[in-house]
Chains A and B, each alone.
Chain A
Amino acid sequence: MSWPVPGSLAFVCPRYGTEVLGGAETVVRGMAERLAARGLPVEVLTTCATDHYTWNNFYEPGEAEVEGVPVRRFKIEKGNLKRHKAIGELITAGRELSLAEQEAWLNESFRSAGLFHYLMDNHQRHHTIVLTPYMFWTSYACSQIAPHKNVLRPCLHDEEFARLSIYKSMFRDARGIIFNSDPEAGLAATLFDLPDNVEVVGEGLDVPVDASPDRFRQRYGIRDDFVLYAGRREWGKNVDVLAEYFSGFVHRARRDLKLVLIGRGEVDVPREIRSRVIDLGYVSEQDKHDAFAAATVVCQPSMWESFSRMLMEGWLGGTPALAYGGCAVTAHHVKASEGGLVYHDASSFEVALSILLENPRLRQTMGANGRQYVLARYQWEDVIDHLVDRISRWAAEGPVKGAA
């Protein structure tokens, strides 16, 4: 198989590798590996970092091959992080900033001159440059090198940063934009002038073949029903809010219910429910799939998702979802799939969780609906077919259409 035009496709992303955690990063790896497996020339241009908190150089700079994908890593240089943070606080407070201040916010975070200059000197080798996610320095800086080759995969959230004017030309001038979900595309249309070429491609998932609830329960000694959260614990993901709502629920409902947490980061667990919260930290992929199959309910409390792999993985385990309705993307998936319920506050959380716990057949039906929803839309092979079709078509069309 080959691209319709000479050259390779370059993924430009801030982190890449088997040690890197994060939904967006996992998907880039999945895409690159599957494109390479089809014999399509791809290359990943990234930094040496694995951790998006410290941005420390972890890998050696230079060329590497990761699961069959050629990867070039470049060193990270850190800016004035105090200034970056101070301007970031102004942004989250909704203050209007000048162009110079916005540029300082981006340039004083992390940056990689090596990556920029490599692409500046070698962009002729690539017919398409996929930039993802939108917010990071790698995407913003590299988007200026050859905009007519850019395909942006923004992973956009409804956040203040998305309203910065510096991002407008990155969206407007791209050759094409691929979105993870319809609500994400809708949000982008309200914030930016978009090029003609936009497509909701979604993300791909591996369908686990031998997920075992019993194996998980045995291994971790969990007998009771449990609510599962599996993902990063950071601001915006709302895991602290989940713990608080869960505390209120078990206090009033007096049920033997546990909250199982998988993933890295700190959570502020109320003292009165500490015995009910089982924090497993980082677990293997197999254990994670087993946990999704074993869970009574998978809860997605995040307010910022562009896709939500956790919901999909829960549904592949046949488990219904309980999602925060304030996030347009997760609410959309839950409504479209009929695979769960949404909540908006503590009260609706308790009502929805009660309904799910008290109705095993409803849970079963919703879990099956959700699984069917994922299988019909988000299997890797289908997503890659879709992606290859769009990338090829846009590359063959030549320069960007409707750039203004």
Chain B
Amino acid sequence: MKVLMVSPFPPLRDGVGKYAAQEVAALRRDGHTVDVLAPLACAAHYVEDFKRPWLGLLRLRKYARRYDRVILQYQPAHFHLHAWGPSRALSNLWMAIAFRTMRKLVVVCHEVEYPPEGRTRLRPEAQLARLAWRWARHVEFHTTHEIDQMEGQLGVRPRRAELRDHGKYFSPAVREDKMQARRRLGLDETTPLLLCIGFIQPQKGFDRAIRAFRRVSGEAKLVIVGSVSAGTPEQRGYVNHLHDLASSDERIDIQERMVSDEEFDRWILASDAVVLPYRLIWSSGVIERAHLLDRPAIVAAAGGMPEQIGSSDTIVLDEDELAEAMAKVVGSGSPVMPLLMSAQEASDLVEIESRRRGTGEAALDRALQQLQVMRGVVPVIAPSERRVIGPFVDLVKRVMRRLLGWLLTPLLGQVNEFQRQTVEALRMIVEEQRRQATGSEERSPADGESLPAPRGEAEP
């Protein structure tokens, strides 16, 4: 059978790409001829930018004719320019026509973007998304949660919605036991090891793992291995935040780097448990690799994760349960410190931490750094940039802006001023605490560390 795989592909460091590469290899082993069509430049036989406004995913048709089967690994970011808005309506329209007219198409659904709550579900892009998934002839999901969520959010269930085993095509990249893996990674052979692995992004919730692990006593190690994919200020800010959180506990090691498939599996083999504290996820390839390599996982109950867990995995609902599950892996009887969640308790924690370090200076510095991160990542609200979609849309936008400008501009100004004042107030509190901690009148904010201007903020 001639198969066309539509997916990002290596050498891109992309989870869906790796997934597709393993499926391609498996299909070829079964005797099929497989070509790859990718939405961006990589080692695919064909490259087609499906995000272009004209025809979008309908461009797939000209390739599909030559194949007996077309497998589309669907992740919105690879096929649509925007998550929502007029351009998304257009690309959803092309997608709907493509899904309707291509009989040999199998869509493997890795993720779907749903409309925000409220009336926006009536907007054309939402209606067209609903139409596309209704018309899709054959869609495969990794969990029933994803099918249910589509039905709940879009009000549609593809006519042939099937489940596919996420790890069906996975094979181990290395064949080692735990001790061999640890030796090769230069790790201690006996210390219990908890592992977070994968791209470092806020939605992965690695910060939750750090906070929970800090409450687990005993000789153990938490290693976070992964890289930042896009390097946006938000992602950089998150990585800095992780380093900051981890700085007070020497047992936590953050290795910010890309790893090969072999090293990825080696880390899992070397671990005592893989921790997946995700906030937002559809389904996870990491948990499938943990199962493949026979390692237990501690899994946050997000997205379709509860369906993916195995008999040796532990599902957790919050950081308390996460800490308890970690403590169990580290060794029975490890005490878990009481949870500190209220403002007063959080404030107490700062004091305890400060005393532990001998001076309040270090903690305040970290708070100040966090403020800088905040100022770096919280954007100033402004009217959206002009994007030329078409002469008509552009004209409408300009007219609307003229009509509403007198109303919106002062409002946006007030919101931005509120945001600026909030950050400034927090900064002043931190400075005041610093002065109290050191007992001296130090440099004033004006002549000292000036915080970087937020993204997009104009100089006065």
Contact assessment for A403 and B185 in the assembled complex, using a CB-CB cutoff below 8 Å: yes
Residues of chain A lying within 8 A (CB to CB) of residue B262:
147-148, 173, 400, 403
* B427, CB-defined interface residue at 8 Å: no
Query: Which of A80, A104, A173 has the most CB atoms of chain B within a 10 A radius of its CB?
Result: A173
A80-B41, A97-B231, A103-B13 known; A404-B261 Cβ under 8 A: no
* A117, CB-defined interface residue at 8 Å: yes
Mark B162-200 against chain A: 1 for CB-CB distance below 8 A, else 0.
000000000000100000000011100000000000000
A404 to B187, CA, bound (A): 10
Contact assessment for B258 and A113 in the assembled complex, using a CB-CB cutoff below 8 Å: no
Contact assessment for A99 and B228 in the assembled complex, using a CB-CB cutoff below 8 Å: yes
A140 to B185, CA, bound (A): 23
Range of interface residues on chain A? 35 or more
A404 to B231, CA, bound (A): 24
Contact assessment for A404 and B186 in the assembled complex, using a CB-CB cutoff below 8 Å: yes
* B230, CB-defined interface residue at 8 Å: yes
Residues of chain B lying within 8 A (CB to CB) of residue A169:
257-260, 263
Contact assessment for B263 and A104 in the assembled complex, using a CB-CB cutoff below 8 Å: no
For residue B25, which residue of chain A has the nearest CB?
A: A120
For residue B49, which residue of chain A has the nearest CB?
A: A80
A120 to B11, CA, bound (A): 12
A313 to B40, CA, bound (A): 44
* B43, CB-defined interface residue at 8 Å: yes
For residue A150, which residue of chain B has the nearest CB?
A: B260
Residues of chain B lying within 8 A (CB to CB) of residue A403:
184-185, 262-263, 266
* A121, CB-defined interface residue at 8 Å: yes
Partner among B44, B231, B259 whose Cβ is within 8 Å of the Cβ of A98:
B231
* A22, CB-defined interface residue at 8 Å: no
Partner among A116, A147, A404 whose Cβ is within 8 Å of the Cβ of B185:
A404
Query: Which of A117, A148, A165 has the most CB atoms of chain B within a 10 A radius of its CB?
Result: A117
Min CB gap A273→B, angstroms? 45
Contact assessment for A107 and B41 in the assembled complex, using a CB-CB cutoff below 8 Å: yes
Query: Which of A77, A106, A107 has the most CB atoms of chain B within a 10 A radius of its CB?
Result: A107
* B436, CB-defined interface residue at 8 Å: no
Min CB gap A143→B, angstroms? 8
Residues of chain B lying within 8 A (CB to CB) of residue A137:
11
* A68, CB-defined interface residue at 8 Å: no
* B227, CB-defined interface residue at 8 Å: yes
Residues of chain B lying within 8 A (CB to CB) of residue A208:
none
* A399, CB-defined interface residue at 8 Å: yes
Min CB gap A61→B, angstroms? 13
Mark A41-77 against chain B: 1 for CB-CB distance below 8 A, else 0.
0000000000000000000000000000000000001
Contact assessment for B263 and A173 in the assembled complex, using a CB-CB cutoff below 8 Å: yes
Partner among A99, A108, A113, A116 whose Cβ is within 8 Å of the Cβ of B13:
A99
For residue A96, which residue of chain B has the nearest CB?
A: B231
Partner among B36, B186, B227 whose Cβ is within 8 Å of the Cβ of A113:
B36
Interface positions of A from 107 to 158, Cβ below 8 Å from B: 107-108, 111, 113-114, 116-117, 120-121, 137, 140-141, 144, 147-148
* A39, CB-defined interface residue at 8 Å: no
Contact assessment for A144 and B260 in the assembled complex, using a CB-CB cutoff below 8 Å: yes
Contact assessment for B263 and A100 in the assembled complex, using a CB-CB cutoff below 8 Å: no
* A281, CB-defined interface residue at 8 Å: no
Range of interface residues on chain B? 20 to 34
For residue A101, which residue of chain B has the nearest CB?
A: B231
Partner among A99, A106, A113, A401 whose Cβ is within 8 Å of the Cβ of B231:
A99
Interface positions of A from 138 to 189, Cβ below 8 Å from B: 140-141, 144, 147-148, 165-166, 168-169, 173
A77 to B13, CA, bound (A): 20
A404 to B253, CA, bound (A): 14
Contact assessment for B259 and A402 in the assembled complex, using a CB-CB cutoff below 8 Å: no
A402 to B10, CA, bound (A): 24
* B229, CB-defined interface residue at 8 Å: yes
Mark B19-60 against chain A: 1 for CB-CB distance below 8 A, else 0.
001001100100000001000111111010000000000000
Contact assessment for B258 and A168 in the assembled complex, using a CB-CB cutoff below 8 Å: yes
Contact assessment for A165 and B263 in the assembled complex, using a CB-CB cutoff below 8 Å: no
A253 to B188, CA, bound (A): 67
Min CB gap A344→B, angstroms? 36
A98 to B230, CA, bound (A): 5
Residues of chain A lying within 8 A (CB to CB) of residue B42:
103, 107, 111
Min CB gap B154→A, angstroms? 29
Contact assessment for B11 and A404 in the assembled complex, using a CB-CB cutoff below 8 Å: no
A245 to B125, CA, bound (A): 66
A400 to B40, CA, bound (A): 32
For residue B258, which residue of chain A has the nearest CB?
A: A169
For residue B10, which residue of chain A has the nearest CB?
A: A144
A166 to B259, CA, bound (A): 10
Min CB gap B28→A, angstroms? 6
A166 to B36, CA, bound (A): 23
Residues of chain B lying within 8 A (CB to CB) of residue A117:
36, 43, 45
For residue B257, which residue of chain A has the nearest CB?
A: A168
Mark B260-283 against chain A: 1 for CB-CB distance below 8 A, else 0.
111100100000000000000000
Residues of chain A lying within 8 A (CB to CB) of residue B44:
113
* B339, CB-defined interface residue at 8 Å: no
* A23, CB-defined interface residue at 8 Å: no
A98-B230, A404-B184 known; A116-B258 Cβ under 8 A: no
For residue B45, which residue of chain A has the nearest CB?
A: A113
Residues of chain B lying within 8 A (CB to CB) of residue A107:
11-12, 40-42
Contact assessment for B11 and A140 in the assembled complex, using a CB-CB cutoff below 8 Å: yes
Residues of chain B lying within 8 A (CB to CB) of residue A100:
229-231
Residues of chain B lying within 8 A (CB to CB) of residue A402:
184, 186
Contact assessment for B28 and A116 in the assembled complex, using a CB-CB cutoff below 8 Å: no
A291 to B358, CA, bound (A): 73
Min CB gap B229→A, angstroms? 5
In the complex, besides A79-B41, A103-B12, 7 extra interface pairs with C-beta distance below 8 angstroms are A107-B40, A111-B41, A137-B11, A141-B10, A165-B227, A401-B184, A403-B262
7 residue pairs A–B, Cβ–Cβ below 8 Å? A99-B228, A99-B258, A104-B41, A116-B10, A169-B260, A402-B184, A403-B263
Q: Which 10 A-B pairs have the closest CB atoms?
A: A98-B231, A107-B41, A116-B43, A141-B11, A404-B185, A173-B260, A79-B41, A113-B45, A147-B260, A169-B258
